[in-house]
Amino acid sequence: MAIATDTTRIAPARHDTRNGVLLFLGALAAFATYDAFAKQMLLTNAPGLVNLGRYVTIVSMGAVLLWRYRRANPAAPAPWRQPHQGLLMLRSAMLATVATAFMTALVYMPLAESTALYFTAPLFMVVLSPWMLGERVGRVQWTAVALGFVGMLLVVRPGGNLPLMGTLSMLLAAVCYAMFQILTRRLSGLVPGPVQFAHMAVVCLVVTSVPTLLAPHIPLPDWQTALVLLGGGLISGCAQLLLLAAFARVSAATLAPLNYIQLLLAVIISTLWFHRPPDGLAMAGIALIVAAGLFLATARRPAP
């Protein structure tokens, strides 16, 4: 459940490119596996419980990363005294909304169509970047947005078979993920990565899980199911770490075109695992979304 961002600004060494690409492909496979796992677990568990298993594990990983960072940088400000706390909280809240909306959508929608709508996030980034980042958007970028919007309509087909609740939830997830990426750009170099990761993990755990734990009508899972949910969270957490390791070696511009392999994996998993292949029009829409995303990933931005 992730789309590559350009949060890393360090020029990678040439010999690391191959390893970075392999790490990135591993991350995409792990994300696709977790999405399929979540879809399966949602058949018998509430979305909040699936998120609970996920973020308990990720919070544990974040605590280890933060501990290592504090040991290496003892003079650094405490996590709760970081600058730009408002933006940091907004960034974490956006990802918590993504997690909630994404899980809700998976309850109602097939995996392939859900993932396709989620991958419209780069298009929403183009729409939001002039307002939030002051970036100039040219004709090429707007053409890609229009192309992706047509693809989205082919997938959704208003009045078609996809449920409205699932569609709106996944589009909300895409918009909020675009906001998350934009805020990550703004905080890059201002707040250390381990602090951002740990902050995000704690906020997501609280926002996505506490309402479920307090709801009297949602039964808690037995210990075997709880272990399975925690294991799924380990897959998601490892995917995040693989992504970070890939970005440390290869620029996001190089990795971005590979991102749509995850969408291809979602189509394959939806077809073979859940026996819900997209129909012809949905496949055409998915192809347009991929084309628009690749267009954005490879096109040059206009000069400011």
Burial track 95-122 (b if 16+ CB lie within 10 A, e otherwise): bbbbbbbbbbbbbbbbbbbbbbbbbbbb
- Name 26's Cβ contacts closer than 8 Å, sequence gap at least 6: 242
Positive or negative: CA dihedral 47, 168, 239, 125: negative
- pLDDT grade for 92, boundaries at 50, 70 and 90: very high
Whether pLDDT at 9 is above 50: no
Tell the residue number behind the tokens 């996920």, with chain if given: 54
The tens digit of pLDDT for each residue in 19-73 reads: 888 998 999 999 999 999 999 999 999 898 999 999 999 999 999 989 998 888 8
The number of residues making up the chain comes to 304
Distance CA 202, CA 60 (A): 10
Question: Which carries the bigger pLDDT value, residue 179 or residue 132?
Answer: 179
Taking the domains of the chain in order of start, what are their residue ranges?
A: 14-298
pLDDT digits (tens, 9 = 90+) for 248-273: 787 766 777 788 888 899 999 999 99
> Whole-prediction pTM value?
0.83
79 near 164, Cβ under 8 Å? no
Residues 6+ apart with CB under 8 A from 220: 49, 213, 226
Q: How far, in whole angstroms, is CA 122 from its chain's centroid?
A: 11
pLDDT tens digit string along 193-206?
Answer: 888 888 899 999 99
Nearest to 146 by CA among 181, 120, 115: 120
